[in-house]
């Protein structure tokens, strides 16, 4: 019996090679890591993301077939394979496949070097282990450098969305975000606190709906100056609900 996934996939190059194979070859040739939380946009050529979507939809159809779901007759799952592929590539894990947001820089004309906090920024991600949602909030504290440019407030949320839009683990996600903000703004100090619910612990597994993970990264003056660290921590709300 012919399953939907046995039909020829369109996710191939002109020579019939799966587009994922071409992209992976380029990554390997450039000796670049392509872990779940790495961005690989640089290695995807124009038009290939659509082919990749076709390829993932074909493979997802195979998963549904193997789970013995009648996607031919079940009207609810008829287009599920493509829907899920689209959700992964264009929404939930978009941060792997597209270039980072463009950031407008403004001159720090007044040479400001006072603590600035932005948050709570809503975080939506998924864990690398089960691909279950991770939903939470984060706060970013910046001690600007009086000699470097400042970036628009909304850009912190855009950068966070780009980093979180990949399969992540929380510890690595906050470090990746800190590295990125550090690279874009070179502040004297940077602090990030993230609090999130991991649905791999709530929906399944231990089924603990209440526990959350809270972690932080402190850089520069936030590491050296305990008073500044205390000031930052005292200014962010003690507890949030999500």
For ligand GTP, the closer of residues 157 and 169 by Cβ is 169
Least CB distance from residue 76 to ligand GTP, whole Å? Answer: 27
Q: Is 179 exposed, middle or buried (0-12, 13-18, 19+ CB in 10 A)?
A: middle
Smaller CB separation from ligand GTP, 161 or 172: 172
* Nearest distance in Å: CB 215, ligand GTP: 8
- 133 vs 220, which CB is nearer to ligand GTP? 133
Q: Which of 56, 40, 47 is nearest to 13 (CA)?
A: 47
C-beta of 172: minimal distance to ligand GTP in Å? 8
Which CB sits closer to ligand GTP, 144 or 165? 165
Return the number of the residue (149 or 215) whose C-beta is nearest ligand GTP. Answer: 215
Q: How far is the CB of 198 from ligand GTP (least distance, A)?
A: 5
DSSP conformation letters of the chain: ---GGGSPPS-B-TTS-BHHHHHHHHHHHTT----TTS--GGG--TTHHHHHHHHHHHHHHHHHHHTT--TTT-TTTTTHHHHHHHIIIIIITHHHHSPPPP--EE--TT---S-EEEEEEEEEEEETTT--EEEEEEEEEEE--TTS-EE-THHHHHHHHHHHSSEE-HHHHHHHHHHHHHHHH--SEEEEEEEEEEHHHHTSTT--SS--EEEEEEEEHHHH-HHHHHHHHHHS-S----
Q: At its nearest, how many Å lie between ligand GTP and the CB of residue 131?
A: 11
Residue nearest ligand GTP, Cβ-based: 205
Lookup result for tokens 């789970």: 67
Q: Which is nearer to ligand GTP, 43 or 199 (CB)?
A: 199
**Measured from the CB of residue 213, what is the shortest distance to ligand GTP in angstroms?**
6
Task: Kindly list the residues in this chain that would bind ligand GTP in the complex (CB under 6 A).
Answer: 127, 129, 169-171, 198, 200-201, 205-206
């Amino acid at each position: 019996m012919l399953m939907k996934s046995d039909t020829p996939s369109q996710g191939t190059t002109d020579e019939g090679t799966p587009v994922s194979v071409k992209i992976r070859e380029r990554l390997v040739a450039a000796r670049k890591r392509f872990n779940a939380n790495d961005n690989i946009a640089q290695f995807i050529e124009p038009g290939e993301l659509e082919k990749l979507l076709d390829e993932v939809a074909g493979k997802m159809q195979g998963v549904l077939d193997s789970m013995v779901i009648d996607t031919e007759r079940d009207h609810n799952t008829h287009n599920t394979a493509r829907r899920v592929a689209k959700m992964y590539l264009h929404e939930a894990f978009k941060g792997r496949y597209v270039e980072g947001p463009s950031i407008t820089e403004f001159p720090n004309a007044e040479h400001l070097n006072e603590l600035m906090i932005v948050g709570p920024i809503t975080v939506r991600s998924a864990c690398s282990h089960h691909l279950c949602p991770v939903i939470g909030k984060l706060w970013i504290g910046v001690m600007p450098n009086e000699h470097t440019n400042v970036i628009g407030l909304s850009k912190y949320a855009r950068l966070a969305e780009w980093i979180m839009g990949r399969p992540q683990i929380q510890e690595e996600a906050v470090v990746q975000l800190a590295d990125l903000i550090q690279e874009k703004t070179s502040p004297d100090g940077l602090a990030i606190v993230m609090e999130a619910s991991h649905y791999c612990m709530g929906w399944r597994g231990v089924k603990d709906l209440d526990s959350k993970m809270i972690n932080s990264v402190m850089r520069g003056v936030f590491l050296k100056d305990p008073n500044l660290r205390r000031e930052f921590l005292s200014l962010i709300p003690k507890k949030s609900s999500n």
